[in-house]
Amino acid sequence: MENSQTESNRENNGGFSSPVDSEHKATKLRIQSVAAPHMRAFHLSWISFFACFVSTFAAPPLIPLIRDNLDLTSTDIGNAGVAAVSGAVFARIVMGTLCDLFGPRVASAALMLLTTPAVYCSALANSPASFLLVRFFTGFSLSTFVSTQYWMSSMFSAPVVGTANGVAAGWGNLGGGATQLIMPYVFTLIHHIGATKFTAWRIAFFVPAVFQTLSAYSVFFLGQDLPDGDFAKLQKSGDKHKDKFSQVFYQAITNYRGWILALTYGYCFGVELTVDNIIAQYFYDRFHVNLHTAGIIAASFGLANLFSRPLGGYVSDVMATRYGMRGRLWTLFLVQILGGCLCVLLGRLGSLSTSVTVMLVFSVFVQASCGLTYGVVPFVSRRSLGVISGLIGGGGNVGAVLTQVVFFRGSRFKTETGITLMGVTIICCTLPMMFIYFPQWGGLFWGPSSKGITEENYYMSEWSKEEQEQGFHKASLKFANNSKGERGKRVASAPTPLEGTPESYGHV
């Protein structure tokens, strides 16, 4: 009987329905399951992130109506597009901090509920300025990316963390493509029921708004921060140390790897956001397809996220089992540079069919790079996982803002030249990856440190001697032990916790 099978599974897995490691993180990603806490957290994160993407990009497919209703110019539309992605730059860093301090469940539910008013009030916009403001504040919801990655990194163990991060983020990003199909359909339905065009698009915005609200409620009531419980409960019972914001923040910003990854992420995810904004227009203007066809091409770029970002995360995990962290880094480096080359090529093609083909291949490479990046991120810091994830995620949005402002605003460059130059920038901004070095595992061109620095040394260096004496670092210690697989040999995670704390070698 299925019940006894699940019961015996639970006994084998220490009370969990998935197999777990010493931190009780799941070591397998079972997508067909919704069992608490791991798989339920997985489904809640990707669905809520999907809802936020739908809200943030709900306006673009309806622009032909909104621009007539609000008397917008091309400049107004461009500015609103930049505003939609720039709000999240700061919000992602804030979200990272909130995750470290309060846990992903409360942080993401709170942020979603705080931004739904902006989506509801999109129905009230009556000028270019008010339109820009609602897009700006709605864009803050894209910071749920950080809580998604944080939650997955807390629930899933090193061998599957890349895959979990990649699938959750990829399926969430799908929202950006799905909305290009959903919103016009909802609008047409409402228009047919009897509303005039200029009222129907306003009513249509209630759909993403309600979806986002319901997602927030689900996360709050059905989710759980960590495999062993929620932050608040664990903090009060003393099982989890309530960390100090200043220390968490300091450890994050002084870790140079976070800054390099923020730059490289700006040129995979930032490029993805830019392309989402400009590609329909590009095909419409250069190849004279009609608006509908251009919209479908734009949607397919976003919909490739169904498999390409998860593929990146999965490949990262596969490379790690054989080659460790160096495998993760090399794969990211090569895939992103190849993506840049494809982008250079895309701008130089003059025929519709080859352009669409190259665009689709380019989308796979650029989205896989995003997945590969977040295969590395969970290992950069344990104490400040949230802020680091937020910094890097924010870097993605900065890349989008910069790229759009420099290459795709006004008439300085033709769009195809802008695309080629964007490709060159991708290649140049991926090169700094050469400087990322983990002393315990190595970097692109160097192996692990000959001083014998271990995972424990690296993660303990985030805690001061006094903090270690009070035992605040215990969770980091477990994580360090579980991350030994990143050495690239088949090292199984220890099932029981270690005794004692090794000496720290100072901040490495």
Partner 1 sequence: MAASTLLFVASILLSSFALSCNASGTFSALQKSILLTSSPKSGQVLKAGEANITVTWSFNKTYPAGTDSAYKTVKVKLCYAPISQKDRGWRKTKDELKKDRTCQHKIVKRDYKPESDSVTWTVERDIPTATYFVRAYVFNAEEKEVAYGQSTNDGKKTNLFEVEAITGRHVSLDIASACFSVFSIVSLAGFFYLEKRKANASQQK
CB of 137 to partner 1, least distance (A): 11
Residue number, 220 or 259, with CB nearest to partner 1: 220
Which H, E and C letters describe 439-493, residue by residue?
A: CCCEECCCCCCCCCCCHHHHHHCCCCHHHHHCCCCHHHHHHHHHHHHHHCCCCCC
Restricted to residues 230-269, the positions that interact with partner 1 (CB under 8 A) are 230, 232-233, 235-237
* Beta carbon of residue 453, minimum distance to partner 1 (angstroms, whole number): 38
By beta-carbon proximity to partner 1, the closer residue of 68 and 469 is: 68
Of the pair 63, 498, the CB lying nearest partner 1 is at: 63
List phi, psi (to 5°) of 438.
Answer: -105, 115
196 sits near partner 1 (criterion: CB under 8 A): yes
| Per-residue x/- track, 100-139, partner 1 (CB under 8 A) | ------x--xx--xx-xx--xx-xx-x-------------
Q: How far is the CB of 412 from partner 1 (least distance, A)?
A: 15
User: Which of residues 208 and 488 has its CB atom nearest to partner 1 in the complex?
Assistant: 208
Q: Report residue 335 as tokens.
A: 């895939």
CB-nearer residue toward partner 1: 198 or 245:
198
CB of 201 to partner 1, least distance (A): 8
Cβ atoms 319, 331 nearer than 8 A: yes
Q: What is the closest distance, in whole angstroms, from the C-beta atom of residue 287 to partner 1 in the complex?
A: 13
Alpha helices in 13-143 (DSSP H): 38-56, 63-69, 74-102, 104-120, 128-139
* Mask for 287-306, x = binds partner 1 (CB under 8 A): --------------------
Residue 65 has a CB neighbour count (10 Å cut-off) of 18
The residue type of 45 is S
- Residue 357: which H helix or E strand, with range? helix 352-376
The pair of three-digit structure tokens given for residue 487, joined into one six-digit string:
């050495």
Select from 226-234, 346-354, 370-378, 428-436 the region that touches partner 1 (CB under 8 A). Answer: 226-234
Q: What angle do CA 304, 308, 313 make, to 5 degrees?
A: 150
Segment 61 to 80, residues that bind partner 1, using CB under 8 A = 64, 67-69, 71, 73-75
Return the number of other C-beta atoms located less than 10 Å from residue 433's C-beta: 22
412 lies in the site for partner 1, by CB under 8 A: no
- Beta bridge partners of residue 226, listed in sequence order: 229
Q: Between residues 240 and 484, which has the closer beta carbon with respect to partner 1? A: 240
Per CB under 8 A, which region of 92-100, 194-202, 363-371, 401-409 contacts partner 1?
194-202
Please, which residue, 216 or 338, has the CB nearer to partner 1? 216
Nearer to partner 1, 133 or 424 (CB): 133
Is 238 or 447 the residue whose CB approaches partner 1 more closely?
A: 238
Q: Which two three-digit tokens encode residue 96?
A: 């990272």
We find the least distance from the C-beta atom of residue 55 to partner 1, in angstroms, to be: 13
Tokens (6 digits) for 422: 């964007």
Give, to the nearest 10 degrees, the angle between helix 256-266 and helix 415-430: 160
90, 220, 307, 437: which one contacts partner 1 (CB under 8 A)?
Answer: 220
Q: Is 226 in the site for partner 1 (CB under 8 A)?
A: no
CA distances from 100 to 97, 120, 388, 438 (A): 5, 30, 10, 22
Cα–Cα distance, 133 to 136 (Å, whole number): 5
Task: State in angstroms the smallest separation of the CB of 364 from partner 1.
Answer: 31
Task: Report how many residues bind partner 1 under the rule CB under 8 A.
Answer: 40
Contacts of 320 (CB under 8 A, 6+ apart): 158, 159, 162, 327, 328, 375, 485, 486, 488
Nearer to partner 1, 119 or 429 (CB): 119
Judged by beta carbon, residue 291 or residue 428, the one nearer partner 1 is 291
Region near partner 1 per CB under 8 A, out of 81-89, 153-161, 211-219, 326-334 = 211-219
**Relative orientation angle of helices 352-376 and 158-193, to the nearest 10 degrees:** 130
Burial code (b: 16+ CB inside 10 Å, e: under 16) for 283-299 equals bbeebebeeeebbebbb
**Got the DSSP string for 304-340?**
GGGTHHHHHHHHHHHHHHHHHHHHHHHHHHHHHHHHH
State in angstroms the smallest separation of the CB of 18 from partner 1: 24
The token duo for 460 is 């303990």
Binding of residue 470 to partner 1 (CB under 8 A): no
Figure out which of the listed residues 206, 250, 307, 437 binds partner 1, where binding follows CB under 8 A.
206
Chain contacts with partner 1 (rule: CB under 8 A):
64, 67-69, 71, 73-75, 106, 109-110, 113-114, 116-117, 120-121, 123-124, 126, 196-199, 201-203, 206, 209-210, 213, 216-217, 220, 230, 232-233, 235-237
